Structure 1
Amino acid sequence: MWAITKASIRAMFRSPSAVVFSLAFPLVFILVFGFIGGRSGSVKVGIDKRSDTASQMYQRLAAAPNLKLVTDEPQADMEDDLRKGRLTAILRIENGAVADSAAPALKLHVKTSTATSPDNKAQLINVLQMGINAANDVVYPRPSIAEIIPETVPGRQYKPIDFILPGQLGFSLLSAAVFGTAFLFFSLRQTLVLKRFFATPIHRMYIILGEAISRLLFQSFGSIVIIGLGYFAFGFTLVNGFVTFLEMLVLCLFGLIVFMGFGFVVSGIAKSESTIPPMANIVTLPQFLLAGTFFSVDVFPAWLQPICKMMPLTYLNDALRKIAFEGMHLWDLGPQLLVLTIWGVVVYGVAVKVFRWE
């Protein structure tokens, strides 16, 4: 068993696909979301050449952090960008001051197109309205009927990395367990290694345990790298410090054991090596997209959410987030662990039925 374990560890560290699926892909996603985390998107607005750029309103818009004003493009190019949705709007600030003091001092002409994003348009209108209100408070000071009394309570900021990193951990475990196990055991069967094992005193349980232990060790290394990068580079939240880290690691290994059962099933029913990727993707791709890897399950339509909540990766991702950010312990995650255990019992029962020596 230990000989199989050591040989499998060497093979995984020498396998480019194992390293890519277990480490490279999750690390790339974490780096991308870590660098963009906490930054809100800016609205791109063209400024008409006839605008009054000396006005107080223009100065306020230029200072707005979520607006990007385009002033150096020709008018025809801005019109073309507006029709293609590259600009949210073209803004013309007109000095409309007249003798009547009740008339507005400025007129803001906002030209949009049907290609304009409704969210960006709403954000632009909100910024313009806030600028107008702030200018009114300066030019036309007046008493207010209400007063806002702010109160702040201590809390933890939920950063994008706190959601993304557990999802990438789950993705890494699922991909490595299903693809790695399926390809490995099919290769052992195809090269008649399992058949030779069958002629020796070794029991099939030791073969499975040897491969399982090697993957547990390999994925432990991967999980440590992923959590460490998120914590030290992007401030990933570990509420209880090292204790939280250890509990996440234990949960990752438990999830890996469950997911390896899918790999055993795929390797047992695959008729050729070319059929493994489609079959493995049937298991992994829906979970990767629907199990809360990149965004919450709650954003899906109501009819789809029950399907999402049947997937084992959903419960692993949820458990990892509750441990890391909410400070829960393993003994507080009864529902999540129960569902994962049920999946493990079912999938290993199927794996035993479809296991073949050759």
Structure 2
Amino acid sequence: MFKRVIAILIARNREFYRDRAGLGWNILMPMMMVLAFAFIFQGDQKDLLKVGVVAQQGDLSTVTSPLLEVQHLTFVPFSGPDEAIRKVERHQLDLLLDLRAAPAYWVNVNSANGYLAERLLLGAYAAPAQGAPERKTVTGEALRYVDWVLPGVLAMNIMFSSLWGVGWVIVRYRKNGVLRRLKATPLRPWEFLTAQVVSRLIVVLGASLIVYLGAELLLDFPMRGSYLALGLVYVAGALCLISLGLIIAARLRTEEVADGLLNLMSWPMLLLSGVWFSMEGTNALAQTFSRLLPLTHLVEAARKVMIDGAGVLEILPQVGLLLALGVLFLSVATWMFRWE
């Protein structure tokens, strides 16, 4: 028995390292991840406090304040105060400073970091020529990390299940000759791909529902928005990501190459879409690239519903974008698809 196990092990290893493309992806991917982490978190040390600054069009270069000269603070620009005030209430911002026509600042009286940030603000405006902005207070309990990260975890689960559930499996069908046999039937490519999308959508949404109910039972997390809106967000996101996986599966012949491309596609989304950490205060180029990723809009819309209490109308832009991308990806996959 052990001889057979060793023989299979050796054969599988030979198959792996003889596939140069698959071997290349497995070597390059860890390197790219390390470079990505170094790029996003570049800097010698982490800033101590996070301060939101409201400025015209969110451009900090248009405003001046003594507080902006204080070192070791992260300044997050906002074009309006509403969203930022909610972050102060939930301790996601330590202080909010509005530097438009009537300068004012908001601080959460329940936040220890907010107290320290306010003392720094008042110290920065201590000079006689400087007039301190008007003080405004808010109250609110801190948003737990688990409450903040849960929408992203659900979105991440949808992403992996969608991409690998169709991308990797269809490549295996092609490699094993299943698609060749299907080609001899009256089945058309778009019918086959549509069936794959519907089948995977049912599986993905069913699994996500189980995860959601289990988390609600164990964690007692807040759900402030509409369940209908949340359902629309995850349906649109799943359709988009499944269709994206179909593009990978359209012509590839080996699972190793498919696995490499799927990793190349999924890990940047996992790192730059705000699943595990907020992109606020990160490199500007990383934030711009993040806006190009479907998972970013899925995570943002889900957090709007679950944390900010958004309804259907508030998340329609993200849902519309995800559906449009899904239609585009599915069209490209149908055009590229080959049975063999």
Q: What TM-score, normalized by structure 2, do the two folds share?
A: 0.56
Q: Does 1:346 align with 2:328?
A: yes
Which range moved further: 201-210 or 254-263? 201-210
Post-superposition offset of 1:152:
5.9
- Deviations along 1:36-75, one digit per CA (max 9) or x if unpaired, are xxxxxxxxxxxxxxxxxxxxxxxxxxxxxxxxxxxxxxxx
Instruction: Pick the structure with greater CA Rg.
Output: 1
Distance 1:189 1:267 in 2: 9
Matched with 1:192 is: 177
Contact 1:266 1:279 in 2 (8 A): yes
- Deviations along 1:221-244, one digit per CA (max 9) or x if unpaired, are 21112211222211211115xxx3
- SS of 2:179's equivalent? helix
Pairwise mapping of residues 81-120 of structure 1 onto structure 2 (< 5 A)? none
Distance 2:288 2:136 in 1: 39
C-alpha spacing 1:230/1:255, structure 2 compared with 1 (3 Å): same
Letter aligned with residue 186 of structure 1: V
C-alpha spacing 1:350/1:156, structure 2 compared with 1 (3 Å): farther
Matched with 1:302 is: 284
**Count of residue pairs brought into register by the alignment:** 208
Matched with 2:92 is: none
Distance 1:230 1:178 in 2: 23
Given candidates 294, 312, 317, the residue that maps to 2:299 is 317
- SS of 2:284's equivalent? coil
Matched with 1:18 is: none
Distance 2:155 2:219 in 1: 19
Q: Does 1:267 align with 2:252?
A: no
Q: What TM-score, normalized by structure 1, do the two folds share?
A: 0.53
C-alpha spacing 1:156/1:323, structure 2 compared with 1 (3 Å): farther
C-alpha spacing 1:150/1:308, structure 2 compared with 1 (3 Å): closer
Letter aligned with residue 245 of structure 2: G
Post-superposition offset of 1:277:
1.2
Q: Does 1:172 align with 2:157?
A: yes
Q: Does 1:278 align with 2:260?
A: yes
Q: Does 1:201 align with 2:183?
A: no
Distance 1:210 1:296 in 2: 36
C-alpha spacing 1:191/1:256, structure 2 compared with 1 (3 Å): same
Post-superposition offset of 1:150:
10
Given candidates 328, 331, 336, the residue that maps to 2:310 is 328
Distance 2:291 2:192 in 1: 33
Distance 1:330 1:156 in 2: 26
Distance 1:231 1:290 in 2: 26
- Deviations along 1:118-175, one digit per CA (max 9) or x if unpaired, are xxxxx9xx9xxxxxxxxxxxxxxxxxxxxxx99765x565221221111111111111
Letter aligned with residue 296 of structure 1: S
Distance 1:152 1:347 in 2: 45
Matched with 2:227 is: 245
- Deviations along 1:239-276, one digit per CA (max 9) or x if unpaired, are 15xxx334323321221111012211111242422111
Distance 1:152 1:256 in 2: 37
C-alpha spacing 1:325/1:183, structure 2 compared with 1 (3 Å): same
Contact 1:290 1:308 in 2 (8 A): yes
Distance 2:282 2:261 in 1: 25
Distance 2:246 2:236 in 1: 16
Q: Does 1:161 align with 2:143?
A: no
Post-superposition offset of 1:350:
2.3
Matched with 1:287 is: 269
C-alpha spacing 1:151/1:214, structure 2 compared with 1 (3 Å): same
Letter aligned with residue 244 of structure 2: F
Q: Does 1:213 align with 2:198?
A: yes
Which range moved further: 274-283 or 186-195? 186-195
Consecutive unaligned residues of structure 1, counting only runs of 5 or more, are 1-122, 127-148
Given candidates 176, 190, 207, the residue that maps to 1:222 is 207
Contact 1:223 1:249 in 2 (8 A): no
Contact 1:262 1:283 in 2 (8 A): no
Letter aligned with residue 166 of structure 2: T
Which range moved further: 227-236 or 337-346? 337-346
Letter aligned with residue 153 of structure 2: Q
Distance 1:312 1:299 in 2: 21
Post-superposition offset of 1:285:
0.4
Post-superposition offset of 1:201:
2.4
- Deviations along 1:74-117, one digit per CA (max 9) or x if unpaired, are xxxxxxxxxxxxxxxxxxxxxxxxxxxxxxxxxxxxxxxxxxxx
C-alpha spacing 1:216/1:158, structure 2 compared with 1 (3 Å): same
Consecutive unaligned residues of structure 2, counting only runs of 5 or more, are 1-112, 117-134
Post-superposition offset of 1:202:
2.6
Distance 2:287 2:179 in 1: 41
